[in-house]
Amino acid sequence: AAAGEILLVAERITRRFGGLVANQDVCVTLPRGKVHVLLGPNGAGKSTCINMLSGDLPPSEGTIHFMGKDITGLSAAQRSQVGIGRSYQRTNIFPKFTVLENVRLAAQSRRQQPWRIFSRAMKQQWALDKARACIEEAGLGAKVDWIAGVLSHGEQRQLEIAMVLATDAQVMLLDEPLAGMGSDESARMVEVLKRLKPSRAILLVEHDMDAVFAVADTITVMVNGQVLESGPPAQIKASVAVQQAYLGQEDSF
């Protein structure tokens, strides 16, 4: 698990929806120990890019490799098995289950058929132990036995992170994990991301510039499905092209 090891490489991935080109020739490299932020106005193609990396959406063109293997043809479930995990822009938890149960189910989902993980007999100790560790890592240790549905919005996003961790994700694809959070919740999530970063590769879609510049090692700016510029935060901050693209946009910085 060497830092810097390249885990995921997307080469010139393109996705069309009818006549619309939602991603064109997008290249992304995700090394372990780094956070790569995708930035861009609404409709730029950020979620489409994540969907192609996660296997939720097949690319129209281009290839995706994970640890040297071509995974372009693998489904989302298969990619989860090999170590690519994602969160969704909408929360994706069982609100009537406890935090621990939600994360246990996520831990077991990687190894077992979905219908089996709900059986009480399948409550395995390894999965409970792993769930507790992931909940701790996601900063939710104090709420392990809470019913998920009563957690605050921010805590539910932390729960989602714990669920991704429970699948042993080496690559974490996080689509707007700070969306709808207050500043305290955002700050807590940024701390969680910093803590997770050394041992994993993280791709993050985020609008909050304070958070972006607090965690990003590389930033790729997308506009109209294309990469406008990609590089270290200082380069992006100084880029005239990026500043012009953001002029008049709601997420200007």
Q: In the complex, which residues of this chain contact Mg ion (CB under 5 A)?
A: 47
Q: Select the span of 38-46, 67-75, 96-104, 187-195 touching ligand ADP (CB under 6 A).
A: 38-46
Out of ligand ADP, Mg ion, none, which partner does residue 33 contact, by CB within 5 to 8 A per kind?
Answer: none
Pick the binder of ligand ADP from 3, 12, 42, 95 (CB under 6 A): 42
Out of ligand ADP, Mg ion, none, which partner does residue 17 contact, by CB within 5 to 8 A per kind?
Answer: ligand ADP
Residue 40 interacts with ligand ADP (CB under 6 A)? yes
Q: Select the span of 41-49, 60-68, 72-80, 244-252 touching ligand ADP (CB under 6 A).
A: 41-49
Out of Mg ion, ligand ADP, none, which partner does residue 243 contact, by CB within 5 to 8 A per kind?
Answer: none
Which candidate, 240, 103, 100, 89, places its Cα nearest to that of 173? Answer: 89
Judged by beta carbon, residue 92 or residue 112, the one nearer ligand ADP is 92
Site string for ligand ADP, 44-73 (x = CB under 6 A): xxxxx-------------------------
Query: Would you tell me how many other CB atoms lie within 10 Å of the CB of residue 4?
Result: 8
In this structure, are residues 157 and 88 in contact, taking their beta carbons and an 8 Å threshold? no
Query: What is the distance, to the nearest Å, from the Cα of residue 157 to the centroid of all Cα atoms in its chain?
Result: 11
Out of ligand ADP, Mg ion, none, which partner does residue 142 contact, by CB within 5 to 8 A per kind?
Answer: none
Judged by beta carbon, residue 20 or residue 150, the one nearer ligand ADP is 20
Judged by beta carbon, residue 17 or residue 118, the one nearer ligand ADP is 17
CA distances from 242 to 214, 229, 234, 236, 238 (A): 19, 7, 12, 7, 8
State in angstroms the smallest separation of the CB of 45 from ligand ADP. Answer: 4
Site string for ligand ADP, 2-21 (x = CB under 6 A): ---------------x--x-
Burial class for 70, CB neighbours closer than 10 Å (0-12, 13-18, 19+): exposed
Query: Would you tell me how many other CB atoms lie within 10 Å of the CB of residue 110?
Result: 18
User: Could you give the CA distance from residue 161 to residue 36 in angstroms, rounded to a whole number?
Assistant: 17
Judged by beta carbon, residue 45 or residue 83, the one nearer ligand ADP is 45
Q: Interface with ligand ADP by CB under 6 A: which residues? A: 17, 20, 22, 40, 42-48
